[in-house]
Structure 1
Amino acid sequence: MNTTAAAAKAGVTVATIRTWCRIGAVAATKHAGRWIIDAESLDQRIAIGTRRPAQLPNDVAALLRDTFAQARYEHSPRPSYRAAVTGRYVLPPHTWGSAALLRWGLVDELIVRGRTWYLLTPSAVRAARP
């Protein structure tokens, strides 16, 4: 499976899939400069991501709820990035606490014109919704 199909299946960005491949979070090999991802390994990684919010410490869960309140659904910082944010909640640049959420795997990064925007992962949205 290629990175585009894997991103659609996992509900994350292609950049996140590439990162998972580079760090070994999913089993993948590179052929002709493109990642080929093992579907079973991706399914396991998706399962890990969906379990994580249930184990969040109270302070991280509170931070996630506060961050979710600031997020804008499908807000594209630039028209050419609309496809990357379709169906996602976007945080503005320099959102307080976004680095902590990134460490927990609750946000994905999107870099637009040198500015970093954060997209809440589907599992983060499920955990943050009241």
Structure 2
Amino acid sequence: MSVSDKIVTYEGVNRIIRNPYLALVATKHFHVIGENGNNEYTVVMYERESTAKIRLDEDFVIYSMKVKDEGVGITYILEEAKKGGNQYKISFMKSGNNLTVLITGKKGGGLLNKSPFIEPEHLITHIKEILGNV
């Protein structure tokens, strides 16, 4: 499933979307926890929007993330660490004061996949809320 939206922003948002640590925080669900080199990162995802009362052993899902700089924009590709898990692709394209955000999400297959899947529409709502006010 894919969803996109256009946000009117200011020049300062360009620095945010090109920084993986800051760009993913705008989703309220993904956070970078480590850098692996070659534009690859380790990311945690948690279903709740607040970090209050997080249970480390139950609430985190680990993802690997690759960053692709595409000149006019940047794309973050997230794949759940376990085989056959969820996948997300978050793209930011800046043109003047407009920021186009495209999010694609694919739920992992299999009967044993119990990882939470956050709908792209939900993620883009948070991104619009946060980056639209920058």
TM-score category by the smaller chain? Answer: under 0.3
| Higher helix proportion (structure 1 or 2) | 1
- The normalised TM-score by structure 1 is 0.26
Report 1 or 2 for greater relative contact order, CA contacts < 8 Å, sequence distance ≥ 6.
2
- The normalised TM-score by structure 2 is 0.25
